């Protein structure tokens, strides 16, 4: 049974990622089924990967109807009221950043609570954060954000590191998780706004 805080945060992240998946599906002119598939895959993907790696089977996102409902509701809302949900392409980035932030924080925290050491916990937190977005992009025939030069996985890494460092010095709880999520969100959104990129290897 999940703690109320983790459940609430994971449901928020699922809904936010579901919105980003639904928005991309509508932009790709998919039908209702396609919108729902992309919304659900985006919303549940990271959590399923995390739970399978930790040996938590069946994954919480498949064992609790509220996760599927949150992702499905996000897809339906986008399909029916796309014009009201999003007015320009920045919204998909904003919703994705919210999901990235929340899932990174909860994923890292859950990994630590499961007994993982700092480095594996940080990696699993990052996987939880980026996993849904990777599935979304692959299903929509897009190059995943983590394979582009955008500050995406790096933003997730920042949130995971904050959780790890504060845990090592004996700090934990809601305030730390909020700070880590906000830091991840801000870095992601500021990098998009300012056009920050990771250096790309140039063939000679």
| Token couple for 127 | 């996987």
The DSSP annotation for the chain comes to: ---HHHHHHHHHHHHHHHHHHHHHHHHTT--HHHHHHHHHHHHHHHHHHHHHHHT-SS-HHHH-HHHHHHHHHHHHHHHH-HHHH-SSTHHHHHHHHHHHHHHHHHHHHHHHHTT--HHHHHHHHHHHHHHHHHHHHHHTT---GGGSSBSSHHHHHHHHHHHHHHHHTT--SHHHHHHHHHHHHHHHHHHHHHT-B-------
Place of tokens 């064992």: 63
Contact criterion met (CB below 8 Å) for 40 and 135: no
Q: What pairs with residue 197 in β-bridges? A: 150
Closest among 79, 3, 87, 94 to 40, alpha carbons compared: 79
What is the structure's pLDDT at 190? 94
Mean pLDDT (the chain) is 88
pLDDT at site 70? 94
The pLDDT tens digits for 28-50 are 999 999 999 999 999 999 989 99
As given in the structure block, the two tokens for residue 41 are 């895959």
Domain ranges of the chain: 4-194
Q: Is the pLDDT of residue 58 over 90?
A: no
Q: Which of 11-25, 85-99, 164-178 has the lowest mean pLDDT?
A: 85-99
C-alpha 87/C-alpha 90 separation (Å) is 8
More confident residue, 161 or 170: 161
84-114: pLDDT as tens digits: 776 655 677 888 888 899 899 999 999 999 9
Residue 181 CB neighbours (<10 A): 25
Alpha-carbon gap, residue 18 to 22, rounded angstroms: 6
The number of C-alpha atoms within 13 Å of 180 and in the hemisphere containing its C-beta is: 34
Q: Which two tokens stand for residue 173?
A: 């709880």
């Amino acid at each position: 049974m999940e703690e109320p805080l983790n459940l609430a945060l994971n449901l928020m992240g699922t809904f936010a990622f579901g919105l980003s998946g639904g928005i991309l599906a509508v932009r790709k002119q998919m039908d209702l089924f396609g919108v729902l598939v992309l919304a659900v895959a985006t919303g549940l993907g990271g959590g399923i990967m995390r739970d399978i790696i930790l040996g938590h089977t069946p994954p919480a996102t498949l064992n609790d109807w509220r996760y599927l409902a949150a992702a499905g509701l996000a897809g339906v809302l986008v399909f029916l009221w796309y014009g009201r949900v999003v007015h320009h392409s920045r919204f998909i980035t904003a919703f994705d950043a919210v999901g990235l932030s929340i899932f990174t924080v909860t994923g890292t925290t859950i990994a630590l609570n499961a007994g993982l050491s700092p480095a594996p916990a940080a990696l699993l937190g990052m996987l939880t954060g980026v996993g849904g977005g990777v599935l979304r992009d692959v299903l929509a025939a897009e190059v995943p954000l983590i394979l582009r030069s955008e500050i995406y996985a790096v933003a997730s890494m920042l949130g995971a590191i904050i959780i790890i460092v504060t845990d090592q010095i004996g700090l934990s709880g809601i305030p730390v998780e909020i700070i880590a999520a906000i830091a991840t969100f801000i870095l992601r959104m500021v990098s998009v706004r300012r056009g920050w990129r990771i250096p790309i290897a140039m063939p000679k």
